[in-house]
Structure 1
Amino acid sequence: MKPLAVLIIHGVEIQDENFHLTPKRLLEKHFARQFKDQANAPDPEKAIVIEPVHWAPILEDAQRRLFERHFKDKRGGFFEELRRLVMHVNGGSEVWLAPLLALLTRRKDRRLGPLHYPGARWLVMHFAGDAIAYQPGIGRSEVYDEIHASVAEALTRLRQRAGEDAPLCVLAHSLGSVIASNYFYDLQVARASEANQEQIATRLLETPLELSPLERGETLAHLYTMGSPLALWSLRYPRQQELDSPVCVPAAELTQHHPGAGGEWVNYYDHDDIIAYPLQPLGEAYRKMVRDVRVKLNGLLFGWTPLVHPFYWADDQVMNPIAEALARTWRQVNATSGIPERRETGT
């Protein structure tokens, strides 16, 4: 049986290697439910091979140095406490937002010097700082390339674990959705020229190599963006009335490797999330390529505020339909393995 490859790309984040564990657990749980009571049901841990792209460490040292220039944590603990609370939030529980919010809105702290709102400044540094650092400058693209290299390395790990032509599903949150869009768009443009393809491979991985269909993005079947600020990146092209070049999902070459396999690009957004925007208003090309889905993320305490932003892939109403789509694709690529297509029944 052929597995699916699943890539998870975080957005604005701290150095938390376990950020992907909650979406991994939910994906596997809902995927297994699609085969409930069926003979030869696949093991979800083997059927969907999941790899995270943890790019936050690329910027962590620079961010730490910036804060050390402005804040002297004399007794220690303030920023470590912020990190600890963010890691709890990554686990999907909103109850940790209350103490986190208390630190973020604290006006003064004697340990840190005269600048006010150190927690809020820490948050702005991560949100605005990551986005600023990611943008390539004129003739310079070090951070852009380093982050994209971390994506390439994760795809290589997926190739080793799932196979050279495994259908690929990408889950990307917040700034991660911009990274995913740019990365696979660059690959699709490069595929027009083998020379460009090799040039990108050399630049990202530092060693010339022959890329597999998975690593070239040819097997990209699904893209799920969540809490995406991608619409804001249209401001980089102020003279264009509409954006006309979204990444193609599914990839044009997917059916060459997996005849009959389908795919989709779904963009999830919550109306209370001020970072997230629907993508179809960007232009006709996006209206054809992307399906915007409005969700109301769960949360009794903060579900009606912009603080819902971190919780897309901790929410069953988002992860369940993604798992359903993965199960459909798994059945399509394993049609000869004795697992029948699931038929929808009406009521």
Structure 2
Amino acid sequence: MKPLAVLIIHGVEIQDESFHLTPKRLLQKFFAQHFKGQPNAPDPERAIVVEPVHWAPVLEGAERRLFEEHFVDKKGGFFEELRGLIKRINGGSELWLGPLMALLTRRKDSRLGRLHYPGARWLMMHFVGDAIAYQPGIGQSEVYDKIHACVTEALARLRQRAGDDAPLCVIAHSLGTIIASNYFYDLQVARAEMQKQGQSATRPLESHVDPMKRSPLERGETLAHLYTMGSPLALWSLRYPNQKELDSPVCVPAEELLLHHSGVEGEWVNYYDEDDLIAYPLQPLGDEYRKRVRDVNVRLSGLLFGWTPMVHPFYWANDKVMEPIAKALARTWTQVNGASGGRKRGQTGT
């Protein structure tokens, strides 16, 4: 049995190494449902190998120092309380949005001094500060490279667990969708440049992949699926006034995928909620996006905040998003392993 490799990239985030556990649980749940009642159904924990890209620590130190320059948490606990609430929300619990909103809109706090609205400033630092820090300047790409190094390391772990040529699915949220797009676009551009120069595309890509890591998975050649959620990629288009430069999105599935898995059909699906102020559909960005991306408008659940911009964190925990992704993975698993690998020929999943 050949497993599938799943890479999960968070967006604007704090230190929460468990952020991927909820989407992982839902993927395995719906993957298993696809094969329910079928003989020799695959074990979802073995069939889907999930690896998170936890890049938040790259910026955590600088952001912490920035806040310490302006806020002195005399009694302690204010920012730890914020982090704890975010972690619970990452788990899919809408009930914690109320306490979070109370902290974010608090004008003053006895534990802190100086500037007003410390909670809102903390949130703004993560939403705006992360994006500013990630974007490389002229001759300055240290943060960009460090964050991409986190992706490279996660892909190396995936290779060890899933195999050199495992079909790759990338699931990314918020700023993580920009990171995913840039990372695999850079790989594809470097590979194309090597081919123009008459070099073998199977050689390691300098400055993008460690020379000791030569697997097709790590080079992005087995990229089959890209799922973007709550993506601000449309806002990033403001950096490219030249439409020709903008209208060259990352190729999904990768052109080399068929060399490794001839029967696999990949896709790029962009999920957005109309109430999410950060998320935008991608097809309006240009002809190539219309060809390569399928935009899906989802109504993220939640009786309290499901109709507000606060829906942004809840793609990970929403069945309307995670179930179709899991079903697509189930179809890909069957395409790779054959119908007899998970069910008898002639039978279909639900």
Which residue identity is paired with 1:276? A
Matches within 5 A, 1:56-135: 56-135=56-135
Which residue identity is paired with 1:112? L
Query: Secondary structure of the equivalent of 1:293?
Result: strand
In 1, distance between residues paired with 2:314 and 2:298?
Answer: 11
In 1, distance between residues paired with 2:3 and 2:233?
Answer: 30
Shift of 1:208: 2.9
Number of residues of Structure 1 aligned to a counterpart in Structure 2? 344
Answer yes or no: is the 8 Å Cα contact 1:10–1:54 preserved in 2: yes
Query: Secondary structure of the equivalent of 1:301?
Result: coil
Shift of 1:313: 1.3
Q: Where in structure 1 are there 5+ consecutive unaligned residues?
A: none
Shift of 1:112: 1.1
* CA spacing shift, 1:284–1:193, aligned 2, 3 Å: closer
Matches within 5 A, 1:268-287: 268-287=271-290
Answer yes or no: is the 8 Å Cα contact 2:270–2:296 preserved in 1: yes
Answer yes or no: is the 8 Å Cα contact 1:11–1:174 preserved in 2: yes
Q: Deviations over 1:97-154 (max 9, x none)?
A: 0001100000011321121100000000000000000000111100000000000000
Aligned to 1:343: 348
Shift of 1:192: 1.8
Q: Aligned pair 1:228/2:236, yes or no?
A: no
Q: Aligned pair 1:325/2:328, yes or no?
A: yes
Answer yes or no: is the 8 Å Cα contact 1:264–1:290 preserved in 2: yes
* CA spacing shift, 1:192–1:67, aligned 2, 3 Å: same
Q: Aligned pair 1:54/2:51, yes or no?
A: no
Query: Secondary structure of the equivalent of 2:207?
Result: helix
In 2, distance between residues paired with 1:273 and 1:127?
Answer: 14
Answer yes or no: is the 8 Å Cα contact 1:198–1:208 preserved in 2: no
Which residue identity is paired with 2:147? I
Using structure 1 for the length normalisation, give the TM-score. Answer: 0.95
Shift of 1:201: 4.9
Q: Where in structure 2 are there 5+ consecutive unaligned residues?
A: none
Answer yes or no: is the 8 Å Cα contact 2:264–2:332 preserved in 1: yes
Which residue identity is paired with 2:348? R
Answer yes or no: is the 8 Å Cα contact 2:165–2:222 preserved in 1: yes
Answer yes or no: is the 8 Å Cα contact 2:187–2:208 preserved in 1: no
In 1, distance between residues paired with 2:200 and 2:233?
Answer: 25
Query: Secondary structure of the equivalent of 1:218?
Result: coil
Query: Secondary structure of the equivalent of 2:6?
Result: strand
In 2, distance between residues paired with 1:120 and 1:279?
Answer: 29
Answer yes or no: is the 8 Å Cα contact 1:242–1:284 preserved in 2: no
CA RMSD in angstroms, aligned pairs only: 1.9
In 1, distance between residues paired with 2:347 and 2:150?
Answer: 36
Which is bigger in relative contact order (C-alpha 8 A, separation at least 6)? Answer: 2
* CA spacing shift, 1:242–1:198, aligned 2, 3 Å: closer
In 1, distance between residues paired with 2:254 and 2:206?
Answer: 22
Answer yes or no: is the 8 Å Cα contact 1:63–1:125 preserved in 2: yes
Which residue identity is paired with 2:275? D
In 2, distance between residues paired with 1:227 and 1:196?
Answer: 37
Identity %: 76
Answer yes or no: is the 8 Å Cα contact 1:8–1:53 preserved in 2: yes
Query: Secondary structure of the equivalent of 1:161?
Result: helix
Q: Which runs of 4+ in 1 moved over 6 A?
A: 195-200
In 2, distance between residues paired with 1:196 and 1:123?
Answer: 46
* CA spacing shift, 1:42–1:266, aligned 2, 3 Å: same
